[in-house]
Structure 1
Amino acid sequence: MSWEGVLFIVVGALAGGFVNGLAGSGTALFALGFFLAALDPVSAVAVVSLMSVITGLQGLWEVRDALQVNVPRLLRFIIPGLAGVPVGISLLTFIDADTLKLVIAALLIVYGGFFSFRANLPRFERRTPVLDSGIGLIGGVLGGMASLSGAIPVIWCSMRPWPKAETRAVLQPFNVCVLFTTTAMLWWRGAYDGATVTAFLIALPASVLAAQGGLMVFRRISDNTFRRLLIGLSLLLGLGIAIRALV
């Protein structure tokens, strides 16, 4: 691998690791573009998936107390999400992934763009166990179909006036579980060859250190600031998805 390729991988790992540490989601948005400059698409996705799982474990430790606050709520997202991954993979033969990405991107851009510049944040306070499970299922299906597992859960969680630790205690384990499943399937398909493992080992130290930096910022921001961060991340995620799908 050339020094230029190594540089792209390190920069992508720093960007993806930092946003994972800060928000618990959005790693692929900030890392994948850099990785694709140095790796083929399958290897790039494989590295991002495994990197997201490893750096996500740091975020899980950060919110370990909040994870115990509402375990049933967390399971309402994770169990349908895991069930949705193979469904999404099977739907790939029937649905055009690029068209789906543009639809999801439009939703993220409209939502993120509208609320990013409003003084009042959206508030949805009542318990919605059925909707929570539906959001988890959609996230799992989109994860298997288009590697977009976090897109809809980020929107949903940013609408809930939960403390930032509780919000992250849903998003982080959900993404870790779905991406771990994706990683296992990629491994089963032989994606982790020597070149991919080498790229991952190059990315790992930078992503771990950058995630620690993101976690430091996460500890210092307020609950409302974190919600605004998720809304802004929705806008950036939508723009990133649209650009990749169109270009």
Structure 2
Amino acid sequence: MSGQAAIFILLGACAGGFVNGLAGTGTALFALGFFLVALDPVSAVAVVSLMSVVTGLQGLWEVRSALKVDVPRLARFTVPGLVGVPVGISLLGAIDADMLKLLVAALLILYGGFFSFRADLPKFERRTPLLDSAIGLVSGVLGGMASLSGALPTIWCSMRPWPKRETRAVLQPFNVTVLSATTAMLWWRGAYDGPTITAFLIALPAAMLAAQIGLLVFRRLRDDTFRRLLIGLALFLGVGIALRAAV
């Protein structure tokens, strides 16, 4: 591997690790652009998936007490999400992935753009167990079809007036669970060859350190500020997905 490729891998690891530590989601959007310069698409996705899982464990430890607050709520997202991943993979040949990405991007841009410039945050307070499960299932399907598992949970959780640690206690384990399933499937398909593992080992220390810096910033955020961060991230995700799908 050339020195230039290693530099791009380190830059992607720093960017992806930081946003993972800060928000618990959005890692792929910030890291993939750098990784794709140095790696082929399959290897880049494989490195991002595994890196997201490993760095995500630090975020889980950060909100370990909040994970116990509402275990059934977390299960309503993660269990259907796991079911949705293989469904999404099975639908890969039947659906235009680029068109799907553009539709999801439009939703993210409309939501993120609308609430980013409003003084009042959205407040959806009542319990919605069926909707939570539907969001988890559809997000798992989107993850399997187009690597978009984090889009809908980001929107949904930013609408709920939960404390930031409870919000993260849904987003982080959901992402770690779905990406663990994705990583396992990529491993089964032989994506983790020698060069991919080498790239991951180069990325890992930088990603872990950057995630710790992101966590330091997360600890200083107020609950409302964290919700605004998620809304802004939704807008950023939408623009990034749209640009990639359009190219």
TM-score by length of structure 1 reads 1.00
2:104 alignment partner in structure 1: 104
Q: Secondary structure at the match of 1:37?
A: helix
Q: Secondary structure at the match of 2:38?
A: coil
1:50-88 C-alpha deviation (Å, 9 max, x unpaired): 000000000000000000000000000000000000000
1:47 paired to 2:47: yes
Q: Secondary structure at the match of 2:192?
A: coil
2:73 alignment partner in structure 1: 73
CA displacement at 1:109 relative to structure 2: 0.4
In the alignment, residue 126 of structure 2 is paired with which amino acid? R
In the alignment, residue 158 of structure 1 is paired with which amino acid? S
Equivalences for 1:85-96 in 2 at 5 Å?
85-96=85-96
Equivalences for 1:18-167 in 2 at 5 Å?
18-167=18-167
CA displacement at 1:95 relative to structure 2: 0.2
In the alignment, residue 60 of structure 2 is paired with which amino acid? L
Give me the whole-angstrom Cα distance separating, in 1, the residues matched to 2:188 and 2:95.
Answer: 23
2:239 alignment partner in structure 1: 239
In the alignment, residue 118 of structure 2 is paired with which amino acid? R
Give me the whole-angstrom Cα distance separating, in 1, the residues matched to 2:37 and 2:96.
Answer: 24
In the alignment, residue 246 of structure 1 is paired with which amino acid? A
Give me the whole-angstrom Cα distance separating, in 1, the residues matched to 2:139 and 2:215.
Answer: 24
Give me the whole-angstrom Cα distance separating, in 2, the residues matched to 1:174 and 1:152.
Answer: 11
Give me the whole-angstrom Cα distance separating, in 1, the residues matched to 2:117 and 2:91.
Answer: 36
- Structure 1: give runs of 5+ residues left out of the alignment: none
In the alignment, residue 78 of structure 1 is paired with which amino acid? T
In the alignment, residue 16 of structure 1 is paired with which amino acid? G
The root-mean-square deviation of aligned C-alpha atoms, in Å, is: 0.4
Give me the whole-angstrom Cα distance separating, in 1, the residues matched to 2:199 and 2:96.
Answer: 29
Q: Secondary structure at the match of 1:58?
A: helix
In the alignment, residue 35 of structure 2 is paired with which amino acid? F
Give me the whole-angstrom Cα distance separating, in 1, the residues matched to 2:67 and 2:108.
Answer: 27
CA displacement at 1:93 relative to structure 2: 1.0
1:226 alignment partner in structure 2: 226
Identity over aligned residues, as a percent? Answer: 80
1:198 alignment partner in structure 2: 198
- Structure 2: give runs of 5+ residues left out of the alignment: none
Q: Secondary structure at the match of 1:64?
A: coil
CA displacement at 1:136 relative to structure 2: 0.3
Give me the whole-angstrom Cα distance separating, in 1, the residues matched to 2:231 and 2:42.
Answer: 29
Give me the whole-angstrom Cα distance separating, in 2, the residues matched to 1:85 and 1:107.
Answer: 21
1:78-103 C-alpha deviation (Å, 9 max, x unpaired): 00000000000001110011110000
TM-score by length of structure 2 reads 1.00
1:185 alignment partner in structure 2: 185
In the alignment, residue 145 of structure 1 is paired with which amino acid? M
In the alignment, residue 96 of structure 1 is paired with which amino acid? D
CA displacement at 1:142 relative to structure 2: 0.5
